[in-house]
Structure 1
Amino acid sequence: MKRPLRGALSSVALLTGLVMTISSCGFGGNSSDDSDPNTLSFLAPIYSDGTKSEWTGIISDFQKANPGLKVNLQLESWDSINDVVRTKLQSKSTTPDLLNIDAYSTFATDGQLYQASDIVDPAVLSDIQPAFAKNASINGTQWALPLFASTRTLFYNTDLFAEAGIGAPPKTWAELTDDAKKIQALGGGVSGYGLPLGKEETQAETSLWTFGAGGGWSDGDKITVDTPQNLDGVRAMKAIIDAGVTEPNPGATDRTPLLNVFIQGKIGMIEGLPPIISQIAQKNPNLKYATAPTPTQTGQPVTLGVADHLMAFKKDGKKTDAIKKFLNYFYSAPVYSKFVSAEHFIPITTSGAQALTEDPVTKAFAATLPVAKFYPSSNPKWGAVQGSIQQLMGTVAQGADPASVLQKIQQAAS
């Protein structure tokens, strides 16, 4: 199952399977440090080649500004971090004080985490985008701090738009289909719209269409797949396939290779993630493109939002002061915005967004944050449902009935 941001990071998060230990930050794995209220253990994933140096610099500067406080950092690849977490949580002495990972809900419902209000000042909490704060909450209580965000937005090839005589990006599905037909008619192996319904991340593309019809995957504690709104979204997705304006065989096409086809200039429109901006700069800097809100049934903007989180484990309760000082420092605008910019994602704080107004990712994606909707990842049944979407949704491209497909996926929730 994809991590919330790992789907956006597949090109970088798997660069290494090695455990990275940062001795300059004092990490030594000593259980004796656990009894020191001024020493924090911090376990985090590797996002990119720069993650090590970024955290090293942040921790070094924090320790200089706070003599007597120490942060021991351990970095793990996304392939290994969940296994490491499970092992470390077997003993209080090895449980990290701070953890950066995707899901937080199991730890929160087990009573292992501090509330967010216990580990940062109110000014930090009020700085977080409301939709992402809500996604880090259970029954109104916030248990984790969003680290940074990934959403989707429409990328379109402006050269192909000009050649096809299209003056503005589409806002509705009807406009999307019409524009895709015009681009498809250009020939030369160009596809109008890229629709990745292969198993890599089918649930993401599908969510854009179900959300775009006013649907969703949950209602309170109940998983809701087989709903009229979701059916409208999947039927619209099938309709654009049947119109013949997508890439060949969309039901078996994964997101990562399809984004590369867009970067090569062979797709008119596709839903993209923040890292695609740096990928375009690296692979095809001459590509002429722009971004626009994701088209929906009515033109009312909505998008898929995902976030990784920072969380703090209670343990013996002696380290709240040190935890709060470190997290307040990290979420200060100069420190936080530099980290987010280096990792090429979207800031989830208002002050971070203001500091990054000229950053290419923030320019393209900041406006999507207020309209983001999320997977019901805190629901224990979501994992099975997501797996079923990945297995079955692509069959609509081979002629499967959308209603039957949704009914089969709904069964995974039971």
Structure 2
Amino acid sequence: MKKSLRFGAAAIAAVATLSLASCGFGGSAGDGGGEDSNTIDLLVPSYSDGTKANWETVIEGFEKANPDIKVKLEVQSWDNLEKVVSTKIQAGEAPDIYNGGPFAGFVGDELLYPVEDVVSKDTFADFQDSFIKNAEVDGTAYALPLIASARALFVNNALLAQAGATAPTDWDSLLDAATKVSALGGGVAGYGMPLGSEEAQAEAAVWLWGGGGSFGDASEITIDTPENLVGAEQIKKMIDAGATQADPGSTQRSPLMDIFIQGKIGMQVGLPPTVGQIEEGNPDLDYSIVPIPTKDGSPFTLGVMDQLMAFQNDGDKKDAITKFFDYYYSADVYVPWVQAEGFLPVTKSGSEQLSGEEALKPFLDVLPDAQFYPSTNAKWSAADGAFKSLFGQLQSKPAQDVLTEIQAQVDAG
């Protein structure tokens, strides 16, 4: 089944690089007057060449609906963003609203509003529950989910039909289908298994979490556990059965997905931008998108999100910030912005509005079951690096040894 995604190119740029040239300092038309309780400073990263214009469209509509409030926009590249916000904070000039990634440090310094203080009850209730939970520190949400990305299994329908297999729903059916496809020969692999350094932590999550494990939470990183061993041993089972491509331990995700797009891999976990890549690279590919198979077939996806947060610079701006957030997250404003940037919505109303998008539906369907990296834990960066450098050893070392080594590297900081 041929798929299409009208904003695939923007999504590819956003997710694949997340680092584009700075759009510089801007502002909405009609900026004027001094800094006061009715002027909001908004600092955001550039997701695409259109990010600045996309925000300016939002701001223009907001200011028209709220003529007493002005919004000053600053767009920075991802390379510069964290340095810029740190410099502003040190100078006592933190933005009122900030679109970024890690936020736990700001919470520790008591710089952010709890989000329920700066959105209406209706807006707060509209967020997907799993995304709000991922924005919590000690049970309180301090960041608003902004955009999402999720994973699903891309299936080459033609290869599976040729092998006499069907799209899998659990690990047993995945192993069976992948083994049959690999047996076709001719350089075809059943399942694309990227355990190389590019994104080993993501493939690890697919299997370890799919078997009932986790990477821990905000208070503790837990890699070397019996639950995670189940998934790690299943990876080895797939490799040993010849169900994957050759040398999975050093294979990177992006070039492997290119091989799937060329029609030489039966199944591989992909992202929403993969749809656009297929449309551009091999539009005649006969494929479908299904939920990621897990040990027992229970629903699961690996979720990634960025967020908005509000700094407590001036208590007098709280009402203005609340009005901006409520306006921005209304479906008629938020959904076009998300579409323009090529991501998935984090709101229930946004998902409902895009439910008719055939290419997005498989990802939207699994969003409520998204699980996330424990990014609010200070040791997550060490865990991320450990997976990237060590997890590929599963190809040749016992699964237990690999998990033990990763845990040791995490504990060492």
| TM-score bracket for this pair, using the shorter chain length | over 0.9
User: What is the percentage of aligned positions where both structures have the same residue?
Assistant: 47
Pairwise mapping of residues 273-352 of structure 1 onto structure 2 (< 5 A)?
Answer: 273-352=271-350
Q: Determine the structure 2 residue equivalent to 1:36.
A: 36
Q: Look up the equivalent residue of 2:89 and give its one-letter code.
A: L
Per-residue deviation, residues 127-164 of structure 1 (Å, max 9, x unmatched): 01111111111222111100021111111011212222
The match for 1:210 is: 208
Partner of residue 410 from structure 2, selected from 384, 398, 413: 413
Count of residue correspondences:
401
2: CA distance between counterparts of 1:231 and 1:25?
A: 56
Q: Which residue of 2 aligns with 1:110?
A: 109
Contact conserved, 2:28 with 2:71, CA < 8 A, in 1?
Answer: no
Match of 1:266 in 2: 264
CA spacing shift, 1:359–1:7, aligned 2, 3 Å: closer
Offset from partner CA, 1:162-203 (integer Å, 9 cap, x none): 22222x311111211111111112222221111111111110
The Cα of 1:26 is off from its aligned counterpart by 6.7
The amino acid across from 2:177 in the alignment is D
Residue 16 of structure 2: which of 6, 11, 25 is its match?
A: 11
- 1:40-51 matches, within 5 Å, as 40-51=40-51
Q: Find the residue that maps to 1:262 and give its secondary structure.
A: helix
The CA deviation string for residues 62-101 of structure 1, in whole angstroms up to 9 with x for no partner, is 1122113111111112122111122111122x21111111
Tell me the amino acid that sits aligned with residue 175 of structure 2.
T
Mapped pair 1:119 → 2:118: yes
1:374 match: 372
- Please give the per-residue CA displacement for 1:371-400, whole angstroms capped at 9, x wherever unaligned: 211111111111111111111001112x11
Q: Retained in 2: the 8 A contact 1:171–1:295? A: yes
For structure 1, the 5+ residue unaligned runs are: 1-5
Q: Give the letter aligned to residue 36 of structure 2.
A: D
| Map of 2:152 onto structure 1 | 153
Q: Which amino acid counterpart does residue 100 of structure 1 have in structure 2?
A: N
The equivalent residue for 1:255 is: 253
2:167 — aligned with what? 169
Partner of 1:3: none
Query: Residues 386, 257 of structure 1: CA spacing in aligned structure 2 closer, same or farther, 3 A cutoff?
Result: same
Indicate if the aligned counterparts of 1:27 and 1:73 stay in contact, CA closer than 8 A.
no
- Relative distance call for 1:114 and 1:219 in structure 2 (3 A) is closer
- TM-score after normalising by structure 1: 0.92
**Is the Cα–Cα contact under 8 Å of residues 208 and 214 in structure 2 kept in the other structure?**
yes
> Could you tell me whether the CA contact under 8 Å between 2:41 and 2:95 is conserved in 1?
yes
Q: Which amino acid aligns with 2:249?
A: G
Are 2:14 and 2:341, in contact at CA under 8 Å, matched by a contact in 1?
Answer: no
Partner of 1:65: 65
Letter in 2 for 1:49: D
Distance 1:278 1:219 in 2: 33
1:62-141 paired onto structure 2 within 5 Å = 62-92=62-92, 94-141=93-140
- After superposition, the C-alpha distances for 1:310-340 in whole angstroms (9 at most, x for unaligned) are 0000012121111111110100011111111
* Partners of 2:12 and 2:274 within 8 A in 1: no
Residue of structure 1 equivalent to 2:8: none
Partners of 1:155 and 1:269 within 8 A in 2:
yes
Moved over 2 A (4+): 6-14, 16-28, 359-362
Structure 1 residues 19 and 343, CA, compared in 2 at 3 Å: closer, same or farther? Answer: closer
Bigger shift: residues 354-363 or 134-143: 354-363
Aligned to 1:401: 398
SS of the residue 2:303 aligns to: strand
Q: What TM-score, normalized by structure 2, do the two folds share?
A: 0.92
Bigger drift between 46-55 and 152-161 goes to 46-55
Q: Which residue of 1 aligns with 2:7?
A: none
Q: Distance in 2 between matches of 1:194 and 1:252?
A: 12
SS of match in other structure, 1:71: strand
- CA gap 1:309/1:27 in 2 versus in 1, 3 angstroms: farther
> What residue identity is the alignment partner of 2:16?
S
- Looking at structure 1, the residues matched to 76 and 264 of structure 2 have their Cα atoms a distance apart, in angstroms, of 37
Instruction: Give 3-state SS (helix, strand or coil) of 1:125's partner.
Output: helix
The AA in structure 2 aligned to 1:217 is F
Hey, what's the Cα distance between the residues in 1 that align with 2:75 and 2:400? 44
Residue from 353, 356, 364 that aligns with 2:354? 356
2:41·2:72 contact (CA, 8 Å) conserved in 1? yes
| 1:233–1:280 Cα change, 3 Å | same
Counterpart Cα distance in 2 of 1:142 and 1:123: 15
Choose 312-321 or 243-252, whichever is displaced more.
243-252
Among candidates 153, 173, 186, match of residue 188 of structure 1: 186
- Matched-pair contact (CA < 8 Å) for 1:26–1:72: no
Distance 2:283 2:313 in 1: 49
Range moving further from structure 2, 139-148 or 275-284: 275-284
1:89 alignment partner, SS class: helix
Shift in Å, 1:361: 4.6
Aligned twin of 1:54: 54
Higher relative contact order (CA 8 A, sep 6+): 2
Question: Whole-Å Cα distance in 2 between the matches of residues 326 and 385 of structure 1?
Answer: 36
Which stretch has the larger CA shift, 341-350 or 111-120? 341-350
Q: 1:149 to 1:187 in 2, by over 3 A?
A: same
CA distance, structure 1, for counterparts of residue 13 and residue 132 of structure 2: 20
Moved more, 227-236 or 239-248: 239-248
Which of 13, 17, 25 is the equivalent residue of 1:21?
A: 25
Q: Which runs of 5+ in 2 are unaligned?
A: 1-10
**In structure 2, C-alpha distance between the alignment counterparts of 1:116 and 1:308, rounded to whole Å:** 15
Aligned to 1:383: 381
